[in-house]
Amino acid sequence: MPLTKAIFRQNCLDKIKNSPKHNRIYKNAKINKELIKELKKFKNLKILFYTSLPFEANTAKSINILRKKYKIFVPFMEGESFKMVPFRLPLKKRKFGIYEAGNSLRKIKKIDVAIVPVVGVDGNLQRVGFGKGMYDRFFAKLKKRPYTIFIQSEYCYTKELICDDYDITCDLIITPHVRVQNKNMVINRK
């Protein structure tokens, strides 16, 4: 039976949800340290972060440190996708159990960096997410592709090419024990 995206997604979710809970703090600390180190290379950034679900890598520490230096945005769910809103407290629990900042009338059209949670990646380093397609729809609306960092609490990778053309790819993957730079990405910086 060939590997499909749905089977791979379920295998990765099982791996993530069954990983030992006792070392999540350690794993999150390693991810946050690596993420902060990567982002401090840049100046004047507008960064889209995600607010984590309980089984995802928690990036709250990175947000709290980096919001002093950079403009931080988070997703605000709208229909089948989301828009970006400025990160501000308090966060409220909404759809899918995700904590969100309040809605905003601001139209944020450009970001420099996107921090994206992933369940797994395929041989092209394309994202296998939770199956809703929200990030794919969001990225399709952007005029310029941001530098994209995938975050995984457990490294879940297949050499198979199982993703669709519209599935987003990354420039960098950060996990607690693995860091993968995408050498195939051609980025036009103007």
Cα–Cα distance measured from residue 163 to residue 161, given in angstroms and rounded to the nearest whole number: 6
When mean pLDDT is compared across 5-9, 65-69, 105-109, 137-141, the lowest value belongs to 105-109
Nearest alpha carbon to residue 107 among 86, 126, 131, 137: 86
Residue-wise pLDDT for 41-86, tens only, equals 888 889 999 988 888 899 999 999 999 999 999 988 887 778 889 8
Burial profile 40-75: b = 16 or more Cβ within 10 angstroms, e = fewer: eeeeebbbbbbbbeebbbbbeebbeebeeebbbbbb
| Residues in the chain, total | 190
Residue-wise pLDDT for 10-40, tens only, equals 999 999 988 888 888 999 999 999 999 999 8
For the record, the structure tokens of 94 come out as: 């909404």
Domains along the sequence of the chain with CATH: 5-181 (3.40.50.10420)
Cα–Cα distance measured from residue 26 to residue 33, given in angstroms and rounded to the nearest whole number: 11
